[in-house]
Structure 1
Amino acid sequence: MSEASAIAGEENVEPLGVKMTTVTAEGTAQKLDVTLLGIRAGGWLMPAVTEGNALSPQAPGMVLADRKLKDAGIALGSVIVDQASGLKWTVGGFVSQESFSHSPAVFLGAEQWAQLQRMSAAARPKAAESGKSSDGANYSAIAVKANKELVSKLAAAMPTVELVSKSDAVSAIPGYKEEQGSLWMMIVFLFVIGSFVMAVFFYVVTIQKTGQFGILKAIGTRTAYLARSVALQVLLLSTASLIASALLVRAIEAFLPGSMPFQLHLSTLGLTCGAFIAMSLAGSLLSVWKVARIDALDAIGRAAA
């Protein structure tokens, strides 16, 4: 870690320890699977605290816990016990949306992490010297804020250390790629199915109005005008339904429990709505094609019959 700090600057380097374990609230038998994350108090890896106090060297026994643990009965001031090492920590604050491999995160300061390392039966391999901090504790990784030039310097100075980007590190989480692949497949199929359903719906509506379109053509209405009218109706209906759907989703989100991993950013919602509107307009081309092929006399004859 000292080599990385010398190259990238001490303010741009933070140690990160990762350990999955089981804890219990003192006085209870309920076991909770969590991921212990060792960080430096006050560093840029420390998440924003939503309730309670942040990690501080002046409170070495305090830890931060994800809000999901509140549903399991953990509150501010609760003492949690690590089943592997027997160490006890007091929950001094809560953070939001912080988990690792579907397990809620518990953030430890440097002193707690060093103590955990000394108590842990599974010792770190000696080859991982680059993961040592100034206090001698072994960490799983070193987080570095660096540009391409600094990355090249780090690679040259520490040839035995594996350098990975943040996105690659996230992808390496067990099960992440498989879950993302399944989710993207479902999302793509939903878009494809949705586009077919909308195209067929508007096509059926257009067929039902064949007689009306024929009459309009017979009195001199241009096909281009009818095509614009169909496309505008599709746009208005699609926009209105998407607005209603977005409001419904937001209303449901407000009632979901905090333990449910649901997060819908405005950017994602906007892109999804834009994609559905584009697909609606693309599907309306089938209806426009049908309108363009309507024979006025034939349509009037069928309407009269």
Structure 2
Amino acid sequence: MFLALRELKHAKLRYFLVALIMVLIAWLVLFVSGLAKGLSSDNASSIQKMNADYLVIQKEADNRLNRSILSENKLQDIQTYSKNQSSAPLGIQMTTFTKKGSSKQIDATFFALNVNGFLAPDVVEGHMINNTTTNEVVADNSLKEDGVKLGDTIKDQTSGKTFKIIGFTKRQSFSHAPVIHMNFKEWAAIHKLPGNKPLLFNVAALKTSKDTAQQIDKNVPGIDVIDKSQALKGIPGYQEEQGSLIMMIAFLFVIAAFVLAVFFYVITIQKINQFGVLKAIGAKSGYLARNIISQVLLLTVVSLVISIALTYGVAFVLPSSMPFDLTPQLVVACSCLFLIVSVIGSLLSLYRVAKIDAIEAIGRAS
């Protein structure tokens, strides 16, 4: 480390430029990673945060929750094989509504559920509806950006029914639309079903073991039991959106490895004579290799600290409408991966140092 620090102090401009490139690459990696996670949450946070292990859908639905239709008879069959009341029906419907006194149309998703069951979301403002509530719903607080406030009345454009918002949830979205939760009574009302007609749902959520889920999948005909990761892939555009961003992040890590390899290899070539002299006076290849690794790790750590600070600084001034979510776990994962990539990028330099012949290097210097 002594030699590494002395060299960094001696060639400040050279290593400053290398560090600057590393800062910019790490900053871009962190920003795109935060954007990918933010878009993922904006697209499917209601499924990601759902207190369920598996979802039961219609066999022909191709993992698309809103394409699935399950009758009450089918739900009863599912309940027969589930244990401890661990299954719950869920209705999903994309819709458009207007706020009273405004003509602006806003997209949303209705979720119909048992508000006393395990699928009920947490309310962060106002209060929760109950199973007998009429004309009242709770909505995701992202609707505040569209001017919707607690106590406002909204009108569903499909059914023409009006609802009063009595509570707000947090981070409840589906297919990039805020989720509005309602009870089964209002679910029947928006579908204009008479009281004696059985309800149709889209999904049955299971909070149970893998064995029980497999038993349901095996014994109930016409259904598929999928986990939440499969359900996420079935949301329109989710897999394509995340795939594109993950590919960008992967390419950025590859680019970082190549850039660091080139920079440090060129610097190593420029110091061949000095390395030869050090080897001639007894320095081992391992000592010189540790010197290079120390430089790489020190520059990487400093660059990462600056990049993380820049990313959180930019995230602080981003508009709330922009989906961006950079969690500490994501920062740690990206940082560790960047450190690994940096070390991999220095391997070419380590190989070159190991192959240096002291006599040849000294002779070239003279």
**TM-score w.r.t. structure 1 length?**
0.86
Mapped to 1, the partners of 2:290 and 2:340 lie a distance apart of: 15
Mapped to 1, the partners of 2:153 and 2:293 lie a distance apart of: 62
Contact 1:54/1:92 (8 A) holds in 2: yes
Q: Secondary structure at the match of 1:118?
A: coil
Q: In the comparison of the two structures, how many residue pairs are matched? A: 291
Q: List runs of 5+ in structure 2 lacking aligned partners.
A: 1-74
The 1:105–1:86 alpha-carbon spacing in structure 2 relative to 1, beyond 3 Å, is same
Which among 284, 287, 298 is matched to residue 222 of structure 1?
A: 284
Query: What letter matches 1:28 in structure 2?
Result: S
Indicate the residue corresponding to 2:217 in structure 1.
155
1:281 equivalent to 2:359? Answer no
Mapped to 2, the partners of 1:238 and 1:283 lie a distance apart of: 11
Shift of residue 198 of structure 1? 1.7
Contact 2:91/2:203 (8 A) holds in 1: yes
Indicate the residue corresponding to 2:228 in structure 1.
166
Shift of residue 135 of structure 1? 8.6
The 1:291–1:46 alpha-carbon spacing in structure 2 relative to 1, beyond 3 Å, is same
1:97 equivalent to 2:159? Answer no
1:81 equivalent to 2:143? Answer no
1:138 equivalent to 2:200? Answer yes
The 1:11–1:258 alpha-carbon spacing in structure 2 relative to 1, beyond 3 Å, is farther
Indicate the residue corresponding to 2:83 in structure 1.
9
Aligned positions of 1:36-55 closer than 5 A? 36-55=110-129
Shift of residue 302 of structure 1? 6.2
Q: Deviations over 1:165-191 (max 9, x none)?
A: 222222111122222322222222111
Mapped to 2, the partners of 1:261 and 1:104 lie a distance apart of: 13
More deviation in 242-251 or 53-62? 53-62
Shift of residue 11 of structure 1? 3.0
Mapped to 2, the partners of 1:256 and 1:301 lie a distance apart of: 58
Query: What letter matches 2:212 in structure 1?
Result: L
The 1:94–1:252 alpha-carbon spacing in structure 2 relative to 1, beyond 3 Å, is farther
The 1:135–1:236 alpha-carbon spacing in structure 2 relative to 1, beyond 3 Å, is farther
Shift of residue 87 of structure 1? 1.0
Contact 2:132/2:183 (8 A) holds in 1: no
Aligned positions of 1:52-131 closer than 5 A? 52-57=126-131, 59-118=133-192
Q: Deviations over 1:112-157 (max 9, x none)?
A: 212112279xxxxxxxxxxxxx993221111112223222332344
The two structures, once aligned, show a CA RMSD in angstroms of: 2.4
Contact 2:113/2:181 (8 A) holds in 1: yes
Q: List runs of 5+ in structure 1 lacking aligned partners.
A: 121-133
Aligned positions of 1:215-254 closer than 5 A? 215-254=277-316
**TM-score w.r.t. structure 2 length?**
0.72
Higher relative contact order (CA 8 A, sep 6+): 2
Mapped to 1, the partners of 2:350 and 2:168 lie a distance apart of: 56
